[in-house]
């Protein structure tokens, strides 16, 4: 198992490493710094350690893990980077499906448009397995409004947002309620359809930027997002804050540590793995 210090997951799996900048959140990328320290070792090219690289030899790693765990996919890169072939992405998803229901895989991207295009071509309107969670990184309101609507159009049983590194205040309320939720709040009588996945964000992770060049992120940004999540009944996970110029992991905010993680059964009780396409 590849252990990790990422608080919201149990393990990392990196069949793809390396990336290129796409938005302001990439400026002080921690993965790029880590790749530089490992250049020439562990599959990181000596000439360009953060070059997008596929690692076919790592594909079977999760199949060997007997204990159930949450797995962050491509924490050292982006599975949906334009330099990753569609067929390799398919191989990665095949492994994830083969691990159902033992492991949960958390797939986080800054490229939801590529993710949506891949799903349209390889999955159609089918849902992925309940053990595959899809997420996007948003560092400010512009990126939230650009990426989250695309995520919500992708078939999934669990969608999440990583508000890290937080570079501006965000209002996520429009994404935390499904059409069913809105109708219920308007006192319209609707009966939930068993197994149907209403489009909404199911989980929010948040945290300030880390590293020596971290940019400021005041606590009230995170407090506002936490309140938005509480009102919508969406789990909230606060990973880190800067308090008195010190980076604090899993900080206390308003009297408690916010480490909520969703349960698949709360969202889609009867879901089963999607049929694979050859």
**Residues 94-117: tens digit of each pLDDT:** 999 999 999 999 999 999 999 999
Q: pLDDT of 8-50, one tens digit each?
A: 999 999 999 999 999 999 999 999 999 999 988 989 999 999 9
| Cis before 211 (ω within 30) | no
- Residue 234, pLDDT > 90, answer yes
| pLDDT for res 47 | 92
Q: Model's pTM, two decimal places?
A: 0.90
Mean pLDDT, range 130-159, rounded to an integer: 95
- Banded pLDDT at 172 (limits 50, 70, 90): very high
What residue segments make up the domains of the chain, in order of their start? Answer: 11-267
| pLDDT for res 188 | 59
Q: How many CB atoms lie within 10 A of CB 249?
A: 12
Q: pLDDT of 58-87, one tens digit each?
A: 999 999 999 999 999 999 999 999 999 999
């Amino acid at each position: 198992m590849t252990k990790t210090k990422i608080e919201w997951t149990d393990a990392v799996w990196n069949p793809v490493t390396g990336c290129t900048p796409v938005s302001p959140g990439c400026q002080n990328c921690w993965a790029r710094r880590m790749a530089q320290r490992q250049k020439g070792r562990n599959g990181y090219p000596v000439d360009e350690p953060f070059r997008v690289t596929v690692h076919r030899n790592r594909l079977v790693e999760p199949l060997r893990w007997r204990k159930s765990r949450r797995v962050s996919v491509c924490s050292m890169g982006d599975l949906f980077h334009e330099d990753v072939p569609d067929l390799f992405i398919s191989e990665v998803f095949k492994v994830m499906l083969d691990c159902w229901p033992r492991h949960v895989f958390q797939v986080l991207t800054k490229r939801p448009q590529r993710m949506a295009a891949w799903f349209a071509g390889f999955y159609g309107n089918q849902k992925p397995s309940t053990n595959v969670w899809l997420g996007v990184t948003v560092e400010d309101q512009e990126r939230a409004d650009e990426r989250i609507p695309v995520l919500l159009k992708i078939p999934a049983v669990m969608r999440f947002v990583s508000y890290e590194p937080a570079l501006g205040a965000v209002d996520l309320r429009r994404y935390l309620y499904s059409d069913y939720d809105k109708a219920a709040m308007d006192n319209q009588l609707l009966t939930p359809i068993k197994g149907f996945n209403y489009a909404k964000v199911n989980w929010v992770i948040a945290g300030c930027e880390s590293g020596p060049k971290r940019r400021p992120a005041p606590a009230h940004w995170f407090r506002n997002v936490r309140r938005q999540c509480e009102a919508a009944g969406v789990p909230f996970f606060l990973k880190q804050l800067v308090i008195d110029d010190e980076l604090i992991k899993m900080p206390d905010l308003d009297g408690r540590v916010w480490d909520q993680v969703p349960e698949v059964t709360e969202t889609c009780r009867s879901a089963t793995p999607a049929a694979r396409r050859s």
